[in-house]
Amino acid sequence: MKTKITELFGIKHPIICGGMLWLCKPDLCAAISNAGGLGNITAGNYDTGEELREAIQQTREMTDKPIGVNITLLPSFRITEETYDDYFRVCCEEKVTAIEVSGKPATKYIDQVHKAGVKIMHKVGAVRHAKNIERIGYDAVLAAGIEEGGHPLDDNVSTMVLTPRIVESVNIPVITTGGIADGRGLAAALALGAEGVMMATRFIATKECNVHPNIKQELINRQEQDTTLICKSLNLQGRALKNKLTEEVLAIEEEGKDLERIFPLISGQKVKEAWQTGDVDNAAFMVGQSVGLIKEELSCQELMDGMVRDAEEIFKRNLQRF
């Protein structure tokens, strides 16, 4: 399966892993890259650029395939502007294949990245933002529908509409993310004009993702209606798995007072601990509506090979119908 994205990144399958705090580390990144996709190391897992460098080098001991790094440029209590500078510097020095950016545009880093021969893409939720990303000089853009986990744009446009709108509005390759978890989603994204897909939630329920078995089973058990949008009152809309904690957050928001009580509830440390302890009720797990499509735990190789095989069968079957 060859697309502009497989050519741009030098990968076999047009499947990319999105950033996931505390989860996208060397083992998972290498497994995805070895399976033919573009694995991901999430920079926010590391307090310094040198720690990120160690993670990149560790990953390269496990794979000789292309790898990517996610850098989320959002206000943080832990990550400073100087640390973001270090993240980009290290990615350029280590010559990773690609950087996936979310949050504010990485305008100040574009020249530095391109001089190093590194590709850069940005996740957006609106046509106006995609046009800006192209104007700044990015190599590709990610069309992120409201279905995605994490922080979808509050324009609330679905992947089905957003993808073709961005495809018809820019000349750089478009990657679809939000609601993708299987070969049907891959086929749909390609039919809408995308050159590939990005997934995050689906990769949690893989054998190589280091989370507690309780969490993986919870994702398998849940359905598409089992996520909710929190923190809208803070202008920090996020899609998370429904549980006791998100109920508490929504109750505080509905009251419209003492909103500062929310920040300790959604802290990254609570999530970090929960991924390992298996506590499914007391952390904000930022997963997407694609959770309803997760039926079993697979290896990254099984998942990705199956996606491509199913997508190809869908195209062949539909061609025979006409």
17-35: per-residue pLDDT in tens? 999 999 999 999 999 999 9
Q: Which of 204, 148, 143, 141 is nearest to 173 (CA)?
A: 141
Q: Which of 220, 209, 240 is nearest to 39 (CA)?
A: 209
The full set of domain ranges for the chain reads 4-210+295-321, 222-290
Q: Measured between alpha carbons, how far is residue 222 from residues 21, 149, 212, 238, 292 in Å?
A: 21, 14, 16, 18, 6
Quick one: pLDDT band at residue 258, thresholds 50, 70, 90?
A: confident
CATH no. of 4-210+295-321: 3.20.20.70
Residue 117 in this model has a pLDDT that exceeds 90: yes
Quick one: pLDDT band at residue 257, thresholds 50, 70, 90?
A: confident
- What angle, 0 to 180 degrees and rounded to 10, lies between the N-to-C axes of helices 159-167 and 127-136? 40
Residue 322 in this model has a pLDDT that exceeds 80: no
What does the angle CA 178 – CA 170 – CA 173 come to, to the nearest 5 degrees? Answer: 60
Sign of the four-CA dihedral 147, 148, 153, 157: negative
Question: In this predicted structure, what is the pLDDT of residue 319?
Answer: 81
Quick one: pLDDT band at residue 75, thresholds 50, 70, 90?
A: confident
Question: In this predicted structure, what is the pLDDT of residue 78?
Answer: 87
- The mean pLDDT of the chain is 97
Collapsed DSSP state (helix, strand, coil) of residue 263? helix
Question: In this predicted structure, what is the pLDDT of residue 301?
Answer: 98
Question: In this predicted structure, what is the pLDDT of residue 188?
Answer: 98
What mean pLDDT is predicted for residues 205-234?
97
What percentage of the chain exceeds 70 in pLDDT?
A: 100
Q: How many CB atoms lie within 10 A of CB 54?
A: 14
What mean pLDDT is predicted for residues 288-313?
98
Collapsed DSSP state (helix, strand, coil) of residue 104? coil
Residue 270 in this model has a pLDDT that exceeds 90: yes
Question: In this predicted structure, what is the pLDDT of residue 18?
Answer: 97
Residue 226 in this model has a pLDDT that exceeds 80: yes
Tell me the residue type at 123.
K
CB proximity list for 95: less than 8 A, separation 6 or greater? 116, 117, 118
Q: Which of 196, 138, 128 is nearest to 166 (CA)?
A: 128
Quick one: pLDDT band at residue 320, thresholds 50, 70, 90?
A: confident
